[in-house]
Amino acid sequence: MKSRITLVSSMFVVMLAGLSGRAVAQDTQTDNHQISVVVPVVALLDLETSGTKNFTASFTKPANDEAGEKIVAPAANNSLWLNYTSIQAGTTTKKVNVKASTLVDGVDIHLVAGSAAGGAGTKGTPTAGFNLTTTDQTLISDIGSAYTASGPNAGHQLTYTFLADDANYANLRSGSTTVTVTYTLADN
């Protein structure tokens, strides 16, 4: 009889344990979980073209080698496109600064950026353009979280023009000068 009481007592303890486990782990009509979404700060810039990024701008002698005429400026070059991807941290916008490594005596190198083609977001606003200098100048301002799409025919088309202005004509010297133009995507 003692083993029967022990068996019944053991079964009673097992049943209580089972019931207490059910009371703690009951389901309800709703449940939830958390998702952490991480978006990085991004600042990427690239120059694109269907050819090569490097080019030569050659002034030429006057037509028909006519004495007394001014040298002829090279044709404008609009083969480069400025692409960028920007994700902002807060409300600070970005800008694209441009500078030249050196200047060419007697020659102005003028740069203009067109409005952005392609992409989405708060793409930047181009300035009216300027002659390159050896210090940073803002070419495009107020870039928010945006992308311009990638490749030639996307982003901002860049146009370079070259001028040997009469006011600087006395400074012209023959020869070849390599100018490195640097574009930087920076916070405003």
Which tens digits make up the pLDDT trace of 37-82? 999 999 999 999 999 999 999 999 998 888 999 999 999 999 999 9
Instruction: Tell me if 46 is assigned to some domain.
Output: yes
Q: Which domain holds residue 114?
A: 42-187
Task: Give 13's pLDDT tier (boundaries 50, 70, 90).
Answer: very low
Instruction: Tell me if 4 is assigned to some domain.
Output: no
pLDDT for 26 equals 78
Instruction: Tell me if 33 is assigned to some domain.
Output: no
Instruction: Tell me if 136 is assigned to some domain.
Output: yes
pLDDT for 8 equals 46
pLDDT for 49 equals 96
Q: Which string of DSSP letters, residue by residue, matches 3-65? A: HHHHHHHHHHHHHHHHHHHHHHS---S------------EEEEEEE-SS-S------BPPGGG
Instruction: Tell me if 35 is assigned to some domain.
Output: no
Using the predicted structure, report yes or no on whether residue 89 has a pLDDT greater than 50.
yes
Total of domains in the chain: 1
Using the predicted structure, report yes or no on whether residue 115 has a pLDDT greater than 60.
yes
pLDDT for 18 equals 54
Instruction: Tell me if 74 is assigned to some domain.
Output: yes
Using the predicted structure, report yes or no on whether residue 117 has a pLDDT greater than 80.
yes
Q: What is the Cα–Cα distance from 100 to 54, expressed in whole angstroms?
A: 14
Q: The pTM is what?
A: 0.82
